[in-house]
Structure 1
Amino acid sequence: MTTLYIDADACPVTADALAVARRRGVPVVIAGNSTQNLERHVRRDDPRDVAHARRGFWVDVLAVSVGADSADFAITERLEPGDIVVTQDIGLAAMVLGRGAAAIGVRGRVFDRATIDMELFIRYEEKKVRRAGGRTKGPAAFASEDRARFRHNLEGLLE
């Protein structure tokens, strides 16, 4: 069965992902830094383990230690082929694709094995520019169209 993992560090679509998972009967693991209140995303009546699942849906919270990429590694080590990860991190998306799982960005972009290497290269080059004191263009403001695209594309991945 597919499990939906949410890289909850600064994720603007956690509630949307949970809503889709509840409707589709998909288990969810919300992973994030232990300094966050990850429980705020979970409804009081949400089942918390497979033994109490409702139509296949249950939600678990995975609080990881503070540190760069802690949530990424915690997610990656639990992944099974066919799982889906919600993330804005291209590095995590690359690891996810390498494990035979799917990755979707918070703006609804489904990451692709054919283009992930180029995306990693672009990220690397932009980081070099910033380290040298240069500036790179940041993302546009998160919009309602992004949220709608995310929900639509997540539904598509779960079909």
Structure 2
Amino acid sequence: MPTLFIDADACPVTREALAGARAARIPCVIAGNTTQNLERRIRRDDPRDADHARGRDNTHPGFWVEVLDVSTGADSADFAIIECLEPGDVVVTQDIGLASMALGRGAAAIGVRGHIYEKATIDMQLFIRHEEKKVRRAGGRTKGPSAFTDDDRERFTRNLAKLLKDALKAWERS
């Protein structure tokens, strides 16, 4: 069964991602550094493991949620997620590098503004990130992201639901 992984470091849509996993009845792993209180995002009645989350047909687990606490080092959550990823999983991240690694492992990736990362364009996105970083290192400035809006949140919710539905269909066919 596919799993939803949330890169929770500075993620503005953790609540929406968890709601999407609950609605799709798929497991969810929230990864973030130990300085965050990731448990606050989880409902008291959310199952915490597969044994307590049997689906209606009792043949496979449904939704459950796990917190993956990682060290505070740069990219710790990213590497912890990559270690756990299986083909068909879905990753929520605003990190293009993590999205690229997820695509390379056969998973899907979606940004916090609802952008679905694609294999066909990820290399260009990585190149642009690299070039902007070079400009900043040389003392220049680059344009930052626009303010996060309700439209971004709605686009994320809509596109995540589609990704999770597609992931479940693919899993059921296999």
Query: How far apart, CA to CA, are the structure 2 residues paired with 1:158 and 1:92?
Result: 18
Equivalence map 1:46-57=2 (5 Å): 46-53=46-53, 55=55, 56-57=62-63
Contact 1:90 1:120 (C-alpha < 8 Å) held by counterparts: yes
Give the residue type in structure 2 aligned to 1:70.
Answer: S
For residues 14-35 of structure 1, give each alpha carbon's deviation from its aligned partner in whole angstroms, at most 9, with x where no partner exists: 0000011111101000000111
Give the aligned partner of residue 151 of structure 1: 157
Identical positions, percent: 74
Which residues of 2 match residues 8-157 of structure 1 at below 5 A?
Answer: 8-53=8-53, 55=55, 56-157=62-163
Q: Judge conservation of contact 1:4–1:26 (CA < 8 Å) in 2.
A: yes
What root-mean-square deviation, in Å, do the aligned CA atoms of Structure 1 and Structure 2 show? 0.7
In structure 2, what is the Cα distance between the partners aligned to 1:139 and 1:53?
38
Give me the whole-angstrom Cα distance separating, in 2, the residues matched to 1:152 and 1:94: 22
| One-letter identity of the residue aligned with 2:23 | R
- Per-residue deviation, residues 93-142 of structure 1 (Å, max 9, x unmatched): 00000000000000000000001011001000000000111000000000
Distance of 2:53 and 2:29 partners within structure 1: 13
- Matched AA of 2:97: G
Aligned to 1:114, what secondary structure does the other structure show?
helix
Moved over 3 A (4+): none
Q: Which segments of 5 or more consecutive residues in structure 2 lack a partner in the other structure?
A: 56-61, 166-174
Relative to the length of structure 1, the TM-score reads: 0.99
Task: Report deviation, 1:54.
Answer: 5.2
Structure 1: state its 5+ residue gaps: none
